[in-house]
Amino acid sequence: MRNFRFGLCFLLAASTAHAQEPENWTEFLGPRRNGIARTTGLNTDWKAKRPAVLWSAPLGEGYGSMSLFGDRLFTMHKRGQRDFIVCLDAETGKEVWAFDAAASFLDKQKICAGPRSTPTYHAGKLYCLLARGEFYCLNADDGKVLWKTNIIEGTKSPERSDDWYYWGMSGSPLIEGDLVIVQPGGNQGNSVAAYHKDTGKLVWMAGNDSAGYGSPIVIQAHGQRVIVCATGEAVLGLDAKGTVLWRHPFGNGCNCATPLWANDSLFVSAAYGVGSVLLKLDFKDGKWTVREQWSTKQFQNEFGTSIALDGVLYGCHGERRAAQLRCIDLETGKEKWSDRKPGKCALLAYEGHLICISESGVVRLLEATPQAFKVKAELTDVLTDTAWPPPALHRGRLYLRDDKKLVCVDLRR
């Protein structure tokens, strides 16, 4: 009996310890693709204790974020005339390995050079999509190629590098069961593609829309797992067999923000005159229907995905110099507040706060409240160049990136 009690206590203690371990930030926008970190006990008073820069590492151009597992950080960037996938020691910033993946990409308008998407880590493997469709599965330990393909060539999707309004493959791969989901785009049943995550074999294709620039997500709706993809002209819901369950028209060919699932509702947004919509999904007698709860032109996410907290949305409205941070009621779409100070920005949420990264490089800590725009602290000297990628939070450390470097900031108390 005594041994039984000791064993039970040991198991409970081990279970509790595991539950309190910080999450691994293994994919774009974190483990739930919503930009929210569940880690607690971090520094939320930056004036009392200014977050220290633990390290800074030079990094070439690139517009994807970082994924982290254990003591390893993964990202992609331009190095010379090539685009590289790299692994850094998350504790020190030292390079562990680098893989030369492709010739560097530059869009026709010459706005952005380098990779666009974020590597996805899963079970010791790294899934990386480059701008011209080069798709790699690497061993995360040493960067060796496990398989490779090209999602544009493999799905016979149109090659659009010479199009004026085209910015390259930007969505981050999504793992769902044995599949890895990507969005090559095309009108021949090849808008969305699923590859076997272990072999790289093409399993299925679906949809007839051009490619969007956001990332696919998976949601749980009416007891079913649904893959959600924002294409260039619509939002699609698919099952793991590639069946299109529903399609809702949305966008003008430049849907860049990632769909967001919150409070059993699907939020999608795009800029350049499109706006936002909150969708409700219904399932009855084996059929799916989609209805709009509200839509508005007064909230337009360009490429920064909004964050949903406590019944409100926080996100960047507008594009170019007219961008501003807004707070919107999730259920009604009505504006709570708006402020131009952050301009174009990317967000991350933790412990009732928002970390707001302005394009200019200013890092702000905001209180997440629908009452008003409340800045608690600013860091003006951490990032010094154009900063578009969303940050990552892992083991109490905040990882930030601009055009020239990657920075690790200590958020532990």
* Residue 177 three-state SS: coil
- Per-chain mean pLDDT for the chain: 93
Does the pLDDT at position 6 exceed 50?
A: no
* Widest Cα–Cα separation across the chain: 74
Does the pLDDT at position 250 exceed 50?
A: yes
Side-chain half-sphere exposure of 226, counting CA atoms within 13 A: 27
User: Which residue ranges make up each domain of the chain?
Assistant: 24-410
d(CA 127, CA 306): 24
Sign of CA dihedral 338, 339, 343, 346: negative
Please name the residue that has the structure tokens 């030079």: 58
Q: pLDDT, tens digit, for every residue of 9-47? A: 333 333 333 333 468 999 999 999 999 999 999 999 999
* Residue 333 three-state SS: coil
Residue 1 has a pLDDT of 41
Q: Is the pTM of this model over 0.85?
A: yes
Q: Where are the alpha helices (DSSP H) in 91-186?
A: 151-155
For residue 245, give the amino acid letter: L
Burial class (CB in 10 A: 0-12, 13-18, 19+), 227: buried
d(CA 282, CA 288): 6
Residue 66 has a pLDDT of 98
What percentage of the chain has pLDDT greater than the value 70? 95
Residue 303 has a pLDDT of 86
d(CA 413, CA 407): 18
Of the given ranges (1-10, 33-42, 52-61, 346-355), which has the lowest mean pLDDT? 1-10
Residue 22 has a pLDDT of 64
Q: Compute the average pLDDT of residues 96-114.
A: 94
In what side-by-side order are the strands of the sheet with 363-367?
Answer: 36-37, 345-350, 353-358, 363-367, 374-379
Residue 164 has a pLDDT of 86
Q: In whole angstroms, how large is the CA radius of gyration of the chain?
A: 21
Q: What are 181's two structure tokens?
A: 């989901």
Q: What are 397's two structure tokens?
A: 């450390």
d(CA 400, CA 411): 12
Does the pLDDT at position 4 exceed 50?
A: no
Q: What are 106's two structure tokens?
A: 């530059």
Q: Pick from 137, 131, 181, 121: which is nearest to 152 by CA?
A: 131
Q: Compute the average pLDDT of residues 201-229.
A: 97
Sorting pLDDT into bands at 50, 70 and 90, what band is 319? confident
Q: Compute the average pLDDT of residues 352-360.
A: 97
Q: Are 335 and 296 within 8 A, CB to CB?
A: no
Q: What is the CATH class of 24-410?
A: mainly beta
Q: What are 185's two structure tokens?
A: 């785009």
For 268, other C-beta atoms within 10 Å of its C-beta total 27
Buried b (16+ CB within 10 A) or exposed e, 152-181: bebbebbebeeeeebbbbbbbbbbbeebbb
Q: pLDDT, tens digit, for every residue of 296-314? A: 999 999 989 999 999 999 9
Residue 30 has a pLDDT of 98
Residue 296 has a pLDDT of 97
